[in-house]
Every structure is written in C-alpha cells, then in structure tokens.
Structure 1
Amino acid sequence: MIHFGWFVGKGTAVHGWKQPWSSLCGRDWLDPSLYIDLARALDRACFDYMIIEDGSFVPDAFQGSADWYLRNAVAVPKADPMPLVPLLGQATRGLGIVATMTTAFYPPYLAARLGATLDHLTGGRVGLNLVTAHNDRSAQNFGLPQHHEHDLRYRMADEWIEVVDQLWRSWSPDAITADPATGVFTDPGGVTPIDFEGEYFRCRGPLNMPPGPQGRPVICQAGGSAAGKAFAAQRADTVIARARGSEGARAYRDDVHATMRTASRDPASCKILFSTSIVLGETRSEAVDRKERLDAATRENLDARLAYMSFLSGIDFSKFDLDAPLPEVKTNASRALTQNLTAGTGKKTLREMATDTSSGGIDFVGTPDDVAAEMDEVIKHVGGDGFLITEALTRRTIAEIADGLAPALRRRGLLRSGYEHALFRDNLLAF
C-alpha cells in the first residue's frame, strides 16, 4: 500500500482567488468549512494526514514591495492554523492533522504545551510540521534584525526539539491516578522538572499538563537542504519532500535512509511522502488537454512564478534579465526549494525556469485508473513510501482526489480501506 497526504500549501488563507471552482473564497476565506470539507473527504478516503502550511510575514521581495502579494492574495492574508486543528479533529475519525510550527519563534515550553493540548483534543491524531522559518521579515517581526544563518537554524532546532521532548516526558504515563479513594489526582512523584540548560535554550519544566495520547505528537519535517535532511533523519516521523521525477525521489529516499542508519534509526520508522501534482480527466485525452491549458496559463503569468521565487529566496527575481543565463542564486532563506526552481530545472535562462510547467515534484496526468497505475509503478521504483497531494484547494479538487482517484487506488489495493488504529503514529507506521 501507499501512504497519502494532502498539503494545504497556502495555509489558512485565500484559496483559488479569481480562479474557476473557487466559490466565494474572497469573502469566506476564514470560514473553516472548506478545511472541514477537505478533512472529512480525506478521512473518508483513508489518507494518512493533511498538513497546513504557515508563515508569519508579509512578503515584499518581488519588485521591492508587498504590492503584488497583497493585490493577488498570495501568502497574505494568512491566519494561524492552530485553532483549526481541534475543529478538524472533531470532524474526523482517523485522519492525522498536521499544523506547521516554527522552531525559530515558538518558545519550547509554549510549543510543548500547545502540542500536548492539541493531541488531547484530537484523541491522539495531531502532528507538528516543524520549520525553521526562512525569511528575514519573519525574524524582524519577532525582534531580530535578520534571521539566523541557515544551518545554524537547524542546530538550534535540534536543541529545541530536545527540550520539547523532555517536557513531554516530564510526566510519567501513570502520573494521573484520579483516585477518589485516596483523594489523589496526580502522583507528585510522577512529575519532575527537566532543568535543561543548552547552548540556545534553558527551561526548568516540568510541563503543567500531561502529554497527549501519543506521548509525542507525530513530527513532520520538510527536509530539503543537507541540514534539513539531517534534522529530518534524526527527528521526524514523516518527511515531506519535493524531488523531480521518480529518479530524483529514489535518490532522495536513499540519502535520507542512509543518514537515518548513521543516526542508528530504522528507516521504516519514518515515512517519506513526495510532492505530486495530479491532473485528472474522464479520458486520458481530456486530462492531457486540461494539462495543456494549465501549462499555457503558467507560461503566460510570469509574474506569479517570479513572485513565488522571490518569496522563497528573499531575492527580487524581477531584477534579473529574463533571457540571460541566471547567475548562481545564493540565499539564507529557503535553499532547497529555490534550487529546485532554478538549478534543479536543467534550464539556463530565468524565462525558461519561470515558464517550466513541472511542479518540481512527481507529476501525473490521466484518468483516475491511469494515475493509480502510474503511482504504483513509481512507488515501486522509488521503494516507498507515498505521495503528498499539492493541488490548489477547491471543492472540485477535493472531490476529484477523494472520490475519483482514491477509489481507483483502492481497487488496486494501494490505499487502505480503513484505519486500523486510534492514534495517528500507529496508522502512519502500520505499513
């Protein structure tokens, strides 16, 4: 079988603005019903999890201002995803719900408490997508003149998760007895300070509440750079990855597994899901025609791709000559994704890169049965573990994936037909 997730790549934001099938997104973007519809559909389809992106800054790299992003509702406005988690948990039975949290700006104690709370509220089905944040503007919103150096952010994140893990372990599993006969609710011997003193963090502890049903929420990480992959290999239960094509995915998985073995971890204890774009049709020719229309729209909208590249890198891509070879781009922001969109394309000029119609991941086009068969072939070649859907979030795409592709996958025995366990981690590691 194959593991599946859905990446809500714009976070709690405006989805499908000015696009067909987006309903009244301009007016009701903060209405939780769209996310609840997605969660219920994925729960019915028996996906492993849905993951919600986040960010805490207004981009202003492209053309030197925030104007383009504000006018087009790209990356702004954006609301905090954490309050959605218990709503989604109440609407589902087995789906894992992963919200993005930055190790750079969440104090470890606050993170541990929030993670434990959400794990309780979802009955043990919460995950945390740990990011180090990639933009100087984010850092400036939290009092820093600029963000920490890229690899330093991951060294700090490694110590951060150690503090958080110790806080989740500061209560023994049987600390709460709630015994009316003795009149004791919590055994004092089961709750101990952690007295952590590291290079970057200090925390006395203990946490003022017990950990959730999982003990430790599922930890997700997008390991792209060398530092990111090393962090993911040591700390993550699931990795979301973007690799171009099945060969790139196979090389990535082999790399992460080798790093896990070096860290004395069993590679089976971490599931890698590869980003994928899927274009479906009732016939293959219909799907191909639809993909051609989408590609034409991408090629015509250069500003959107340049603005996205500027968002990821913090570098204004409007300043480069579109038809000259692009110089090497070095960034302290999102290195892996910037490289994927520039050096990873195999193109030379910025125009060629910006009009590249690949998603940068593994792309599929065809009928649901076509795509299911191709997914089976790809995952066998890669060696596992699964796919992360990255389609734009509309009710049309929800139906196409949950009610079109999912049944085709299940007919081939590639998608579970039910959740075997109550807890997210147990379902994730069930195969």
Structure 2
Amino acid sequence: MFHLGWFVGNGYSVQSWGRDWAGTDNDDWWSPSLYADAARALERACFDFMVFQDGLMVPDVFGGSMEADLKFAQEIPRSDPTAMVAVLTQVTKNLGYIPTISTSFYPPFMAARMLATLDQLSGGHAGGNLVTSASDRAAQNFGLEGHHDHDLRYGMAEEWTDLVTQLWDSWEPGAVVMDTERHVFADHTKVHPIHFAGKHYSSRGPLNTPPGPQGRPVISQAGGSPAGREFGARFADVIFCVPNGIESMKAYRRDIHERMAAHGRAPEECKILFMVDPIIGETDQVARDIAAARAEKKTTDAYVEEHLSVMSYFSGIDFAQFDLDQPMPDLDGKVNAQQSTMARYQKDAAGKTLRELVIAHNMVATIDLVGSPDTVAAKMGEVIEEVGGDGFLLSGPLNRKNIAEITDGLVPALKRRGLTRSSYSGATLRENLREF
C-alpha cells in the first residue's frame, strides 16, 4: 500500500477563483466551508493529510510591479494557514493537517508553541511544513535588507529545527500528572529549561505548553537542492518532491535514503511522496479531452503572462525582460530563491523557446496521470512498484468537483487494488505515516 496527501498549492487563499467549478469561491474565498468539505472528503478517502502552502509577501518581480500577481491572484492573497488548520481540526478526527512555516521568519519559540497547540487541538494530527522562504521582499517585511544566501538559509534552518525540537522535548513524558487530590498539574522535576545557545538562535525554555499527543508534531519538507535534501534527510517525517519521470524518482529516493543513513536514520522514518496532478474522466477518452482542453488554455496570452510571473517569483528574476520567442536565458548561478524549481525549468528548456517552455512545463507532476479512475489507479500502482516509493502528494484545483473525482472516483479504484488503506489504524498522524 502507499500513502496519499493533498497539497493545497494556493494555501489559505482564493482557489478556483475566476475558473470553472469555483462554486462560491468567487465571493467567499475566506470562508472555511470549502476547506471543511474537502477535509471531510479526504478523510472519508483515508488520506494521510492536507498540507497548506504559504507566502509572506506580495510579489513584484515580474515587470517590476505587483500588477500581474494581484491581477491573477498569484501568490496573493495568503492568509495565515495555521488559523484555518485550527478550524479544520474540529471537523475531522483522523486527517492530518500540515501548515507551512518559514524557519527564516518565525521565531523558534513561537513556532514550537503554535505547532504544539495545533497538535493538541487535532488530537495528534498536526505537523509543520518547514521552508526557508526565498524572497527578498519577504525578508524586507521582517526588517532585513534582503534574504540570506540559499545555503546559509538551510544552515540556519537546521539550527532552528534543533531548537524547536528541544523545546518540544522540554516536557518529559509523564510530566503532566493532573493529580487533583494533591493539587498538582505537572511534575516540576520533568519540565526543564533547555539553555539553547546557537550561532543564530538561542532560547532558555522550557516551552510554556505541554506537547500534544505526538510529542513532536510531524515535520515535512520539500527542498530539492542538495542543501534542502540534506535538511529533509536529517529532520523530516515526510518529504515532497517533483523529480521528472521514473528514473529521476528512483534516483531521488535513493539519494534521500543514503543521506538518511548518514544521519543514523532508517528509510521507514521518512516517507517520500511524489507530486502528481491526475486528470480523471469517466473514460480514458473523456480524460484525454479534458487534458487537451487544459493544454489549449495554456496557449493564451493571459496564461503565459501568469506563468511568467510565477517564474519571476520562483527565481527572483524578472522574466518580463526576456524575448518569448528566444531560448530561456541561462540562469546558472543567478538564482538565490527556489533553485531546484528553476533547475527543472532549465532542464526542460532544452530545444524550446521561452514561450514553448511556459506552455509545456508542468510544475507539479512527476508523471502524467490521465484516464479513467481504473486506468490512473493502475498506473499509480505500477509506478510505486517500480520506484519503490511511499506514495503520492496530489496537487490540483481545490474545488468540490476535483475533490470528488479523486475521493469518490480514483480512491475507490485504488482501494479495489489494495493500494491504499480503507481505514485508519493509528491514533496520530505519525502513526498513520508509519503504518506501512
């Protein structure tokens, strides 16, 4: 069997706004109703978790202006996903929730406290998706002139995570005794200052709230660069990745396991989930028609402009300055932002003009999955058998139609093949991740 997660790529934001099947999202995108409906459906389908992307600024790289990003609702708005997660923990029992947390800008004590609180609220089904952030504009919102160098950010993130985990561990198991007869809430001999003093961070501790049921909330990570992979191999319980094709998927998994071994960790301690965006139809032909229609929309000027603004955000380089009908410029050594993402663009750019690259590129799919539920389920099973991976992180439009196609179409086909669980066996998110 393999695991399933859902990536809310827009975070707590507008989802299908301005697009087909938006439902009420055009008018009340801030309402929890869409997310609550999705969460109930995903739990019914026995997904492991939902993970929420986030951002901390309004981009203005493309054309030197905020215009395109605000026009297309691209990377904006971004409301705080931890608040949405707190609401969603009350509508499900077994589904996990993982909001994105920036190690560069969240004070470690506050992050440790917030995630411990979410773990309490969710009954042990919370986690944090740790990112280092990538934008100078985000850094400027927190009082810096610009963001730190890429590898320095990951070095700081390792120290940050060391500190956060020590804060979670500052309460020993059994510290909370709740002895009403002796009027003792907690055993003071089991709660300890940590006196952490690092190069970048320090904290006396202890945390001022007991840990939740998991002790340490689940940590997820999605870095694809060598520094990002090293960080994930050391700390993560689940890693998300977008290698291109079967052989790249195998190589990525092998690399992470080798890095984990160097840190004294066993492969089963961290699940590797490959991102996919299935296109489901009642028949294979219907699905191919849907895929063709989506591909046609990608040829419009509006789509090209929107995608270029995304590439500008990812790279920190203004793509409005480049000729669309010339090859993509060589960005080697020029990107301090999302290096692995832009490396994939560079690889896919071979033999294409910039316009052709934008139209053809798929940011969130390791493999193409197009067909009926049975066809796609069979392909997913074949891929996992060949790669040996742990599962898939599904990324697609967050609307009720797409959720239903996955949870009520694809997942039953997966269950019939014995590929995914039919019920939860663990009491926490970590236990469900470790089930197989």
TM-score range relative to shorter protein: over 0.9
Contact 1:135 1:333 (C-alpha < 8 Å) held by counterparts: yes
Secondary structure, counterpart of 1:60 in structure 2: coil
- Shifted more, 46-55 versus 293-302: the winner is 293-302
Secondary structure, counterpart of 1:91 in structure 2: coil
Match of 1:11 in 2: 11
**Counterparts in 2 of 1:334-413, with a 5 A limit?**
334-359=338-363, 360-413=365-418
**Counterparts in 2 of 1:25-64, with a 5 A limit?**
25-64=25-64
Q: CA deviation at 1:86?
A: 2.2
Match of 1:92 in 2: 92
Match of 2:306 in 1: 304
Note the alpha carbon deviations across 1:49-104, whole angstroms, 9 max, x for none.
11000001001111110001111211111200001112211111211111100000
Q: 2:335 aligns with which of 320, 331, 335?
A: 331
- Give yes or no for the alignment of 1:280 onto 2:280: yes
Q: CA deviation at 1:357?
A: 4.6
Contact 2:328 2:349 (C-alpha < 8 Å) held by counterparts: no
Match of 2:423 in 1: 418
Note the alpha carbon deviations across 1:226-282, whole angstroms, 9 max, x for none.
100000000000001111122211111111111111111101110011110111111
**Counterparts in 2 of 1:91-170, with a 5 A limit?**
91-170=91-170
Q: 1:322 aligns with which of 297, 321, 324?
A: 324
CA distance in 1, matches of 2:435, 2:348: 34
Gaps in structure 2 of 5+ consecutive residues: none
Secondary structure, counterpart of 1:13 in structure 2: coil
Contact 1:276 1:387 (C-alpha < 8 Å) held by counterparts: yes
Secondary structure, counterpart of 2:89 in structure 1: helix
Gaps in structure 1 of 5+ consecutive residues: none
Q: CA deviation at 1:24?
A: 2.5
Note the alpha carbon deviations across 1:107-165, whole angstroms, 9 max, x for none.
11001111111100000000100000110000000000000000000000000011111
CA distance in 2, matches of 1:331, 1:248: 22
CA shift in 2, pair 1:345/1:405, >3 Å? farther
- Shifted more, 182-191 versus 111-120: the winner is 182-191
Note the alpha carbon deviations across 1:194-213, whole angstroms, 9 max, x for none.
00101001100111111111
Secondary structure, counterpart of 2:296 in structure 1: helix
Secondary structure, counterpart of 2:362 in structure 1: coil
Q: CA deviation at 1:358?
A: 3.4
Match of 1:226 in 2: 226
CA distance in 2, matches of 1:172, 1:347: 58
Q: CA deviation at 1:305?
A: 1.4
Contact 2:50 2:97 (C-alpha < 8 Å) held by counterparts: yes
CA shift in 2, pair 1:140/1:38, >3 Å? same
Contact 1:160 1:201 (C-alpha < 8 Å) held by counterparts: yes
- Give yes or no for the alignment of 1:186 onto 2:178: no
CA distance in 2, matches of 1:392, 1:341: 22
Secondary structure, counterpart of 1:302 in structure 2: helix
Secondary structure, counterpart of 2:124 in structure 1: coil
Q: CA deviation at 1:361?
A: 2.3
Contact 1:342 1:353 (C-alpha < 8 Å) held by counterparts: no
- Shifted more, 180-189 versus 53-62: the winner is 180-189
Secondary structure, counterpart of 2:381 in structure 1: helix
Counterpart code for 2:4: F
Counterpart code for 1:313: S
Q: CA deviation at 1:345?
A: 4.8
Secondary structure, counterpart of 1:18 in structure 2: coil
- RMSD (Å), alpha carbons: 1.1
Contact 1:295 1:357 (C-alpha < 8 Å) held by counterparts: no
CA shift in 2, pair 1:19/1:264, >3 Å? same
CA distance in 2, matches of 1:257, 1:55: 29
Secondary structure, counterpart of 2:174 in structure 1: coil
CA shift in 2, pair 1:227/1:344, >3 Å? farther
Q: CA deviation at 1:183?
A: 2.1
Contact 1:7 1:390 (C-alpha < 8 Å) held by counterparts: yes
Note the alpha carbon deviations across 1:301-354, whole angstroms, 9 max, x for none.
211211111111111111112222222212111111122223245444212211
Counterpart code for 1:259: R
Q: TM-score, normalised by structure 1?
A: 0.98
CA distance in 2, matches of 1:165, 1:265: 16
Contact 1:391 1:397 (C-alpha < 8 Å) held by counterparts: yes
